Amino acid sequence: MGRPSNKSERRAEIVQAMMQVMAVRGYEGASIQAIAKQAGLAPGLIHYHFKTKQDILLGSVTQLSNVLKGRYLSLSENAETSEDKLKAFITARLSKGEGASQQAVVAWVMIGSEAVRQPEVKAAYLEALREQKALLEDLLQDYFDTFLKKGKLNKKELNSKVAFVMAFMEGAFSLSITAQEIMPNSWAADELLSKLKI
């Protein structure tokens, strides 16, 4: 029967290693050799588990997306009001509790950059963004339910709020990487929420 497969763990290790290297050297700097070294594996093994380097990057999109989903679910578990859920969503993305977060943030920004020239990366990146946007839309719809029903807020205005939050979060990521010196250390969900108020 041979030894038991460990494909999925190895793949996760490799994706993890790439993100670690990318956090310091960027995507181009994250050579297969460097990733292998970081993961404690032989270079040849990387391509046994991933067809191309791009595939590892795509794997990291998936993993990052899953982590965010997981964090939101865990944070919203006890949320009851629509506001709590919205806060859970924002906190899941903006808080930098864990040490791994920094790497994740850099990786996310790098993915955004690579999306410029790698169509497949762009597709995966967009897909992840769409998912987040869909969730945010639902949450905001609930949050502004009353206003919507009263006609004090129309669909277009809601969309604008959605886009607004998305952009802010993306920018907070970008700046937190290289411009932390001139940015506040942390953003409170409350603060962002207050800007959305009507």
Partner DNA sequence: TATGAATGAGTATTCATTCAT
Partner DNA sequence: GATGAATGAATACTCATTCAT
Q: What angle do CA 196, 139, 144 make, to 5 degrees?
A: 50
Question: Is residue 30 at the binding interface for DNA, with CB under 7 A as the rule?
Answer: yes
Report DSSP state, residue 125.
H
CB of 78 to its own copies, least distance (A): 28
For DNA, the closer of residues 51 and 197 by Cβ is: 51
Question: Is residue 47 at the binding interface for DNA, with CB under 7 A as the rule?
Answer: yes
Closest C-alpha among 181, 145, 141 to residue 162: 141
Answer for the pair 49, 13: CB distance below 8 angstroms, yes or no: no
Alpha carbons 171 and 175: distance in angstroms, whole number: 6
Question: Is residue 177 at the binding interface for its own copies, with CB under 8 A as the rule?
Answer: yes
Alpha carbons 176 and 158: distance in angstroms, whole number: 27
Q: Site for DNA (CB under 7 A): how many residues?
A: 28
Question: Is residue 158 at the binding interface for its own copies, with CB under 8 A as the rule?
Answer: no
Site for its own copies, rule CB under 8 A = 2, 23-29, 42, 106, 109-110, 112-117, 122, 125-126, 129-130, 133, 159-160, 163-164, 166-175, 177-179, 181-184, 191, 195-196
